[in-house]
Amino acid sequence: MNADKDTGSANPQTERASHDSGLPPSDASESTSKKPLPLANFVRWMVIGEKIIACLFLLVIVFTMATQVFARYVFDAPFQWSEEVARFALIWMTFISAAFVMAERRHIAVDMISSRVGDRGKLFIECMSYVVVAASCLLLLIGGANFVWYVGKVGSPALGVPKSWWYGAGMAGLMLMAVHSLVNLLQVWMSGKPIPRENHVEEEAFQLEMEQSE
């Protein structure tokens, strides 16, 4: 009888928390144990801003090309600048999108080592990957700065936009990817564990197919 009473009132705080939140005790304990990563709000708002900018460039591409088709086939007077605007928006959209894809860790990766090592090995490999990516982006950014400054004297044929604005998209993308890599490194360093990844349906199906083939 005493043992039953002890086990029944072993963790009243957990039961009280689960009763207040409307969750079972196991779910309540898991939700309380999960803590947000450091700088999570900063990363979230940064990704939202990048996605909004990328969507705006996509709208520019769609509107420009639709206007060009309408002017060409209806009025037989195509614009001279439409393709250049669409190309300009496509370049910026590509590098801005690469930044928030980097933040969400959606870039293609070949995982051959981390799946075969322990938690400390995974933590070390993830930290090293962020260091390598950030260093590579910063080196390319420093090396390409002189080139972007040099081509700024040349303008585009139709709009006369300096070429530095065209190649500056790559510089902006490299800067954003370096920032995301350093923030991810800081999150891993402060939390002491790899950042959890969200698996898509396609990734799960691919993994299942690979396991079945083995």
Domain ranges of the chain: 38-196
Please report which confidence band the pLDDT of residue 203 belongs to, taking 50, 70 and 90 as the band edges: low
The whole-angstrom separation of Cα 25 and Cα 93 is 46
| Average of per-residue pLDDT across 81-97 | 91
- Confidence band of 202 (pLDDT split at 50, 70, 90): very low
Rounded to an integer, the average pLDDT of 149-177 is 84
Round the average pLDDT of the chain to a whole number and report it: 75
Average pLDDT over residues 70-84: 82
Q: What is the 3-state secondary structure (H, E, C) of the chain?
A: CHHHHHHHCCCHHHHHHHHHHCCCHHHHHHHHHCCCCCCHHHHHHHHHHHHHHHHHHHHHHHHHHHHHHHHHHCCCCCCCCHHHHHHHHHHHHHHHHHHHHHHCCCCCCCCCCHHHCCHHHHHHHHHHHHHHHHHHHHHHHHHHHHHHHHHCCCECCCCCCEHHHHHHHHHHHHHHHHHHHHHHHHHHHHHCCCCCCCCCHHHHHHHHHHHHHC
pLDDT tens per residue across span 117-138: 777 777 788 888 889 989 999 9
